[in-house]
Amino acid sequence: MKTEKSGVDAGWMQRVMERYEGPLLRYAAKVLGGDLELGRDVVQETFLRLWRSDRAGLGDHLPEWLFRVCRNRAIDVRRKERRMTRLNEQAEQTRPSPALSPSAVALKREAAGRAAKALTTLPVNQQEVLRLKFQNGFTYRQIAGITGHSVTNVGFLIHTGIRTIRKQFKTLGLISGA
């Protein structure tokens, strides 16, 4: 069923929302310092903009378009709200993982907490590209399209961020130096 105003197929829109709502919400919440409610508002507005947009103009770049719109809106909201909070390590550690044993869950949470803490020590632009790469699985080119950085700069930011975290872990004795 297509709407007259936008020409967007409601079934297609439903599939897009089912596929991207979760990743967009996680991404928006991170950009907004962990605020899920503001993140939900940003994601809702992202989908409204998609509904109103020319679907043909998106081509094969739907994920990049969605994340770019979401990012820009989240940055606008963040500026307006003037709120920035650090990633809450406790919230990261309490995320359930039903497929793992209790000891594996504990080890995974500890590692995730350390990684999250290490990530917060990086500059914001490195944090953002690392999250887009490893939490959402985007390519360097897609990340460049979302953030406005060049592909080369995305690669540099990812490399530098990983190298910095690796050095921190080596210093703490969490990984061996090789």
Same-domain check for residues 164 and 108: yes
In the chain, the percentage of residues whose pLDDT exceeds 70 is 84
Does some domain include residue 178? no
Average confidence score pLDDT of the chain: 83
**Average pLDDT score over residue span 18-45:** 93
DSSP 98: T
Total tally of structural domains belonging to the chain: 2
Q: What 3-state class would DSSP assign to 22?
A: helix
Task: Return left, alpha or beta for 122; rule: phi > 0 is left, psi -120 to 50 is alpha, else beta.
Answer: beta
Task: Tell whether the torsion through CA atoms of 107, 132, 18 and 84 is positive or negative.
Answer: positive
Q: What are the tens digits of pLDDT across the range 51-65?
A: 998 877 787 889 999
Q: Structure tokens of 165?
A: 């975290």
Q: Would you state the pLDDT for residue 91?
A: 54
Q: Give long-range contacts, CB 8 A cutoff, 24+ apart: 147-156.
A: 147/71, 149/125, 154/129
Q: Which one, of 40, 17, 19, lies nearest residue 29 by Cα?
A: 40
Q: Structure tokens of 12?
A: 């297609």
* Residue 130's CATH number: 1.10.10.10
pTM for the predicted model, two decimal places: 0.58
d(CA 155, CA 153): 5
Task: Show which of 81, 110, 129 is a domain's final residue.
Answer: 81
Q: Structure tokens of 108?
A: 């995974």
Same-domain check for residues 104 and 77: no
Residue 29 pLDDT > 80, yes or no? yes
Does some domain include residue 2? no
Q: Structure tokens of 97?
A: 């993982």
Burial class (CB in 10 A: 0-12, 13-18, 19+), 43: buried
Same-domain check for residues 34 and 66: yes
Confirm if 76 and 119 have CB atoms less than 8 A apart.
Answer: no
Same-domain check for residues 68 and 111: no
Confirm if 28 and 74 have CB atoms less than 8 A apart.
Answer: yes
Distances from the Cα of 65 to the Cα of 37, 68, 69, 98, 104, angstroms: 22, 5, 6, 33, 37
Does some domain include residue 26? yes
pLDDT, greater one: 5 or 162: 162
Task: Report the first-to-last Cα separation within the chain, whole angstroms.
Answer: 58
Domain enclosing residue 32, as ranges? 10-81
Q: What 3-state class would DSSP assign to 72?
A: helix
